Structures are given as structure tokens and as C-alpha cells.
Chains A and B, each alone.
Chain A
Amino acid sequence: MLGETKSQREYKGPTVTQAAWVRSLMASFVKQWDESGRIGGLFGPPPSADNPVLPWNRPMQAAVLIFAGGSLRKHVKQSASKWAKQLREVNGTELLRGDDPAFYGEYSLLSTDQGIRGFLFIVNDLCFVQSTLLELQEWRWENIYEQLRNRKLAATEEDAVTAAVKSFAKTKAADFIEEINKSLHKYDWRTSSTPGLTESDRLSQSVFRGSSGYKEMRRRLLTHLSQTATSNVGTAANAVMTALKY
């Protein structure tokens, strides 16, 4: 977490540094909207005062990220896709008990900077283009407070986040993210270094290494969703691809 090298830390599984997380959040959810307003960060500043900013405080923003990540983890855990099965069979670095190698493992793109940023892009971008339909403006802290007014609320920030996650799970946006993840678990999240890959698979997955991997991951995930997801998600993916000129 604080930047120790693999040899220095107790946990030997793959990690993404805190700095990498922050860079990816800044590039996706916290990104300033471009002037056209087509794709911006849900938590980012709009280009002008005329554009609405989502009224989400920090616990609410954390709740969206936690819900999205938890949902993806759940769907990957349930996944019987070929890629997931293979990652559970290969012997990688020892993980904590109960951790799914398809999600946390050494050979999962979901444990890499590129994979995490790709996922953050997808959730942000698709929700952004569907924000009106998903009624993102309607999810407010007042609602959360109202639902829990008879309980001791938000004694700590952790309590506030927990309450926000529960509240967010009941929104249209949460259903939409669930739909996204029902399709994303079918995507091939194997890294190019996964043992046993065919040469063509290895070459195909090697495009995600390095800085060019960010864009390629985003493009391939959008293509995957546009071809395999439900109509709402597929439509949103197509809209994002058009906006990004992919």
C-alpha cells in the first residue's frame, strides 16, 4: 500500500500501488469534462457553471466505487468462463485464503494498473452517458439520511460509507452497473504472462502492457460490451465509442 517492493512486504500477491490507483481515479472518475461535455468524470468538475455537478459527497463517491468493485468481484467469482477457470488452475503467487485467483491472482488483468483503470473507465463512461436515464442527480445524501434518521448515523466516515453503499444498491445506477458486470466477467482478463496461453492469445493479451495498454483496454472492453451486453449497456458502450471516436 505504501509503496514497498515485493520483497519487503508480507503479502506476495500482485498489488497496484496507491499512486497508480490515484492516477487511474484522476484519469476516469475525477477527470474534468471536455469542452464538448461528451465524456467527463462523474466526480470531476464540469467545464462551466451551467453544467450540473453531481451532488455526491465523499462517502457517496466512495460508495459508488465500492459497489462497482464488489459487484465485479461477485460476478467474476461466479464466472465459469474459460479464462476464469484457467486462472484458478494455474499455480501463481499464494493469495489470502478465499481470494479468487481470477480476480486477485498474479495472472489476472484485474490485478494490474491497466485492468483497474479499464474497469474504472467503463463504469464512469457508461454511467456518464446514461446519467439522465439513471437519475444520478436524484441520489442525494438527504435520501440516505432520511432512510436512516432513527439510527445513529455517520459516527465515523466508515459508517457513512456503509450507509451510502446500502442506499446506492437500491438505485437504477446500481442495476446498470450490475448489468455491466454481468457482461464484463465474460471478458478474457488473463495477462500475457499467464502460463499455458497459446502464442496468439499471448500476443493478443500483450497489448495491455505499458502505457498503450490503457487505451487498448478501454477500447476492447467497450467493444466487448457493445457486442455482448444488454441493450442499455450495449447502447451506452456504443455511445461512448462514438464520443471517443473508436
Chain B
Amino acid sequence: MTLFNISKQNKTLLRAASRRFIEDYLTSVPETKRSAEWIEIPNRYRVECTSTYDTDIGAHPPTVDHNQLIEYVSESAPTHVIDGWSYLGRAIEATLRGDTYAAIHFGYYAELRATMGLLASEGIGVFNGRHPIVRTSGITTRFPTTGTARTHAVVWPILSYWSSLKRASDLIDEIISPRSLRLSQWLIGTGASVPVRAVAQSWLRAWGIDLAAVDDDHDSRNLSSYRPSEFRKPTPLDVHESVAFVEELWRLFEPESSQRFPRLERVLLRSARKKATTAPATVGDLEALGLTAPEAAQWATFLADIQEPMPLQEANNQSQVDDARCHFQILSRAALLLFVATGSVRRLFLNAAYTIDTLSFWWRAMGEARGLWTAGSSPADPLDLWADILVAISDSDDWRSRNPPGSVSLRDWRRADMPERDYLGAFELVGIWGLLT
């Protein structure tokens, strides 16, 4: 399989995709519908979207139902993101079982769904060979204009091209806004002369790089999905490394009420600064951004810290499937792509006035189905479940401090008395936290 080459005409079409119309659609959904289901049962694209769309496109004249298709694309944005977090959860559970091939398999699909959710929120539906683009007029247009472009071959070229657009950097600038100051304000205000557009493009291309590998023999996902793991299996890592990675990944997603994932935003800001300058951010500069003197001092210390969380380091590396850290790298990139996709959909929901109550039909049922709570005992505020995650990662951290590397096995960790350990694979929660407003 080779990657799809996007022509000038098709690039024009991608630029015409309308995030605004997706937002308008979500805003127009009546309360009775938005609080009951994602998509209406009779929607003609709900069950077999790709074949139905292909048939509609091929008919003479075309029989595309634009309203129903727009409903499908709009509602696929949050639902792809939800599935993406679930895949990441399964990848983490595989990691904690020492199954690196399964982790890579699920990690790749987490990346794919994150990208599909992100693009859907921008008005670009990713189907099979032909893909609907939602335009400002409320009419959809097929992509590519002629021929076909299969999902795995087209996702990376579209993401790569979209990441070069100003709209991508505007979105990143909005999503990463520690202390309610946009990334660009932080960078300019602290003397880091790098355009957000360059940062956004660099990040999105780095985090989506696994989607670019579609060659059967070099694609980690292909190898992990279709080839025997026993032929190219890596040497197992010490249990400390696997568990520490998962603990650190969770810590990046501690939720806050308004600024959903402030720690991740902060470390991404620091990472962006480092791309442009090694000069420290001064307390004076930070005070000029509106921070109090004690806050500015804390931020100056934080921004000067050179130690990055493990997932951010791993996201920048790319290894072969038989490298013991390959799955860490893919899972880190998947988490970061999901963060962006979730932030994108969250903004749509905020602007369309979706609330935690609006979406209770979804998150309460999902938590019950995934064993996060029992029927009738869903939390009033799902953010409170961070307390359970914190117990899980604290217990695990304590276990590691009592049992030095080399002295214990994965089985020892799995058999240790840590009742909340079960939560460590529950990355669905991050999706719930991120999407609820």
C-alpha cells in the first residue's frame, strides 16, 4: 500500500471543510435529542456508512442525504475520540500484561481514531475509499474528487496537510492555554520566538508518524497485527519501567474543573519553549503576563526544569517493533493525539452548550459497562474518580520504592495487594473527563 498523494484540487477541497458548520449542527440539535442519543436510529449512514455513501455517490444523480451525512460526521467526532481512549486503555492493559504486540496494535488504532475524531471535528469525514467533506454551505462534497483513497493510505496525508494550515495552529493555540493564557502568549511573553504554527505542525506530524507507515514490512502496526510476535519479540523490560511509564502517563491527565488537563498543557508549553530557546523565562516576563510574584517564581522554576515526563520523551522516538520501548513510543503519541482530538471536540461542545447532564446518557452507561461503577451508583462528578486513579498510581509507586528494580517480576506487581490497580487501564475516564464540559 502506498500513501495517497493529495492534489492541488483536493487540497482546496480540504481547506473548504467547515468546523463552523459542525459547530452549527451541534448547536442546532434540540435538547431532547442531544441528551438521549448520539445519532438518530433511522440515519441512513448509521449502520453501513461507507457502503451507503459509496452507493449514494455513485448513483445518477447522486442520492447523498447531506443532512444525515452531516449528522453522522459531526457525531462521529466525539464517538471516535471515545473509542480512541478505549483503545488506549486496552493498550495500557496489554502493556501491564507484558504483551507489547497487542499494545502496539491497540495503540495504532487509538492514534487512528484520534485522528479521525480530530478531522471530523474539522468537517472532514474519514470513511473508506471516498470521504465526505462538510462545507460551509451545509452541503457535503466527496474527497478525493475522483478515484478512491483508502483509510490507512489517506489519513496521514490529510493530517499532515491539515497540520500545515493556520486553522490547525489556531486550534492548538486554544487547546494549550495554561492558566487561560494561549500558548502563543506564553511563547511571545517569555521570549521564545517560535510561531505556534511551526510548533503545531511539528507536534502533529511527530505524533501522527505511525499513521505514515503503511509499508507491510516496516509498519509496526502491520507487524504487530499480522505477523507472529514470537519471531521478532523484544526482550521484556523490567516491571519498573512498564509500570512507571503508565504511572507517568496517568499523571499527565489529572483533571481540573475548568482547565481540563493543566499538567499536560504545562509540560507541552515547556516543550514548545525548548524548541525555540534555551534562555530561561524570567520572573519579570512572567509577571508581565499577569502572574503574581510567587506564581511567576514557580513558573520560572518549572519552565527551567529539563526533566520531561517519560511519555513526552518517548513520543519523540521511533523504534522497530522488536525494540522493547516501541510500544511506549506509540502509546505516548496516541495519548497526545487523543489529547488534541479531545480538546477539539470539547471546544465544539462548550460552544454548543453541551453539559455534563446533556451527555449523562452516554458517560453514566459507559462507566457502568466498563466496570467503573455499578448500576445506579455513577458519581455526581466523574472528575472525583481521579482520587481512585491517584490511589492506584500511589500504591504502585510505593510498591516500586519497596521493591528495587531487578528484584521483582511483573507477576509480583500483579499479585501485590493493590485493589485499585484495576483502574490503571481505565483510560476511558480521560475521554469522559475531556469531553464533559
Contact = CB atoms under 8 A, between A and B. Distances in A.
**A interface bracket (residues with beta carbon within 8 Å of B):** 20 to 34
A17 B254 contact: yes
Nearest to B303: A2
A8 B309 CA distance: 11
B276 to A, nearest CB: 20
A116 B305 CA distance: 29
A4 B384 CA distance: 20
Given A2-B266, A18-B262, A157-B292, A211 B257 contact: no
B89 interface: no
27 contacts: A2-B263, A2-B299, A3-B254, A3-B262, A3-B263, A4-B302, A5-B251, A8-B305, A8-B307, A17-B254, A18-B262, A19-B255, A22-B256, A23-B255, A23-B256, A23-B257, A23-B384, A113-B387, A113-B390, A158-B292, A209-B391, A210-B388, A210-B420, A211-B384, A211-B385, A211-B386, A214-B384
Given A2-B266, A5-B248, A19-B254, 11 more contacts: A2-B299, A3-B266, A4-B305, A19-B255, A23-B383, A27-B384, A113-B387, A209-B387, A209-B420, A211-B387, A213-B387
A3 B307 CA distance: 13
Given A2-B302, A211-B379, A19 B420 contact: no
B387 A210 contact: yes
A20 B266 CA distance: 16
A139 B173 CA distance: 41
B381 interface: yes
Contact of B381 (A1, A27, A213): A27
B298 interface: yes
A223 B72 CA distance: 52
Nearest to B260: A19
A174 B43 CA distance: 60
The 8 closest A-B pairs by CB, nearest first: A3-B263, A19-B256, A26-B257, A211-B387, A211-B384, A210-B388, A2-B302, A210-B391
B255 A114 contact: no
A129 B15 CA distance: 56
Nearest to B256: A19
Interface string A2-25: 111100100000000111101100
A23 B257 CA distance: 6
Contacts of B420: 209-210
Given A3-B251, A3-B262, A3-B266, A23 B299 contact: no
B32 interface: no
Contact of A214 (B263, B298, B387): B387
Nearest to A156: B292
Contacts of A213: 387
Interface string B247-284: 01001001111100011001000000000000000000
Contacts of A4: 302, 305
B263 to A, nearest CB: 4
Interface string B208-235: 0000000000000000000000000000
Contacts of A158: 292
A20 B258 CA distance: 12
A19 B262 CA distance: 8
Interface of A: 1-5, 8, 17-20, 22-23, 26-27, 113-114, 157-158, 209-211, 213-214
Contact of B298 (A1, A22, A157): A1
A111 to B, nearest CB: 13
Interface of B: 248, 251, 254-258, 262-263, 266, 292, 298-299, 302, 305, 307, 379, 381, 383-388, 390-391, 420
B54 to A, nearest CB: 46
A114 B263 contact: no
B213 to A, nearest CB: 33
A1 to B, nearest CB: 5
Contacts of B386: 20, 23, 211
Contacts of A113: 387, 390
A27 B385 CA distance: 13
A3 B266 CA distance: 9
Contacts of A3: 251, 254, 262-263, 266
B430 to A, nearest CB: 14
A241 B383 CA distance: 24
A95 B419 CA distance: 30
A26 B256 CA distance: 10
B220 to A, nearest CB: 29
Nearest to A193: B398
A8 B305 CA distance: 9
Contacts of A27: 381, 384
A22 B257 CA distance: 7
Contacts of A17: 254
A47 to B, nearest CB: 14
A2 B305 CA distance: 12
Contacts of A2: 263, 266, 298-299, 302
A18 to B, nearest CB: 7
A20 B292 CA distance: 21
A2 B291 CA distance: 14
Given A2-B302, A8-B305, A19-B262, A211 B255 contact: no
A69 to B, nearest CB: 17
A206 to B, nearest CB: 10
